[in-house]
């Protein structure tokens, strides 16, 4: 029986299937998830869990090189935007797009994790990247 790490079997499977530059999305309770996109619904009730909780847990097991967040998140809920932006401390590449464009990009994600978050525009697309475990004799910038 798995008792450590990501114990949600569907979430653990999705994280294990991510490759370099694959897209994984964490969304609030109301995000219109495109038909056909694999969805892991972990919502329990209002604000349980919230997007930030899921991101904080994912950080332990998932390497991210870029985030895509809606401009409306930054305008409507700047505190959430800042908290999301700083979950992965080493990420400086944060792309801000219109919410309508975020919905278009969501059609290309490998999976969506739906939360119970009722914070407006609480959605983020994570672009997987190589973590610090990768060996590079010479780093190129």
Residue identified by tokens 């972990």 is 42
- Spatial strand order of the sheet with 23-27 comes to 38-41, 111-114, 23-27, 124-128, 64-70, 94-97
In a domain, 107, yes or no: yes
Predicted TM-score (pTM) of the model is 0.93
Q: Specify whether 86 is catalytic.
A: no
How far apart, in whole angstroms, are the C-alpha atoms of residue 40 and residue 21? 20
The range of the structural domain enclosing residue 84 comes to 46-117
Q: What percent of the chain has pLDDT over 70?
A: 98
In a domain, 11, yes or no: no
Determine contact, residues 106/33, Cβ cutoff 8 Å: yes
Q: What is the pLDDT of residue 78?
A: 97
In a domain, 40, yes or no: no
In a domain, 139, yes or no: no
Identify the band that residue 140 occupies on the pLDDT scale cut at 50, 70 and 90: low
Identify the band that residue 91 occupies on the pLDDT scale cut at 50, 70 and 90: confident
What CATH code is carried by the domain that includes residue 112?
A: 3.40.1650.10
* pLDDT tops 80 at residue 77: yes
Helices and strands in the chain, H and E counts: 5, 6
Number of domains in the chain: 1
Q: What SS3 state is found at 103?
A: helix
Q: pLDDT tens digit string along 5-61?
A: 899 999 999 999 999 999 999 999 999 999 999 999 999 999 999 999 999 999 999
In a domain, 80, yes or no: yes
How far apart, in whole angstroms, are the C-alpha atoms of residue 124 and residue 69? 5
What is the average pLDDT across 70-93? 94
What is the average pLDDT across 106-131? 96
How far apart, in whole angstroms, are the C-alpha atoms of residue 55 and residue 84? 8
Find the catalytic residue in 5, 7, 17, 20: 20
CA distances from 105 to 77, 94, 101 (A): 21, 15, 6
How far apart, in whole angstroms, are the C-alpha atoms of residue 73 and residue 123? 8
In a domain, 136, yes or no: no
């Amino acid at each position: 029986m798995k008792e450590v790490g990501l114990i949600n079997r569907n979430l653990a499977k999705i994280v294990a299937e991510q490759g370099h530059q694959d897209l994984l999305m964490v969304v609030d309770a109301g995000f219109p998830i495109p038909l056909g996109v694999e969805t892991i619904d972990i919502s329990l009730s209002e604000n349980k869990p919230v997007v930030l909780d899921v991101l904080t847990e994912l950080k332990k097991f998932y390497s991210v090189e870029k985030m895509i967040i809606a401009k409306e998140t930054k305008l409507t809920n700047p505190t959430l935007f800042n908290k999301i932006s700083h979950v992965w401390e080493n990420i400086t590449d944060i792309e801000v797009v219109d919410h309508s464009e975020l919905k278009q990009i969501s059609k290309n994600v490998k999976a969506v994790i739906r939360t119970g978050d009722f914070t407006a525009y609480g959605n983020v697309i994570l672009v997987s990247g190589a973590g610090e475990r990768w060996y590079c004799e010479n780093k190129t910038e």
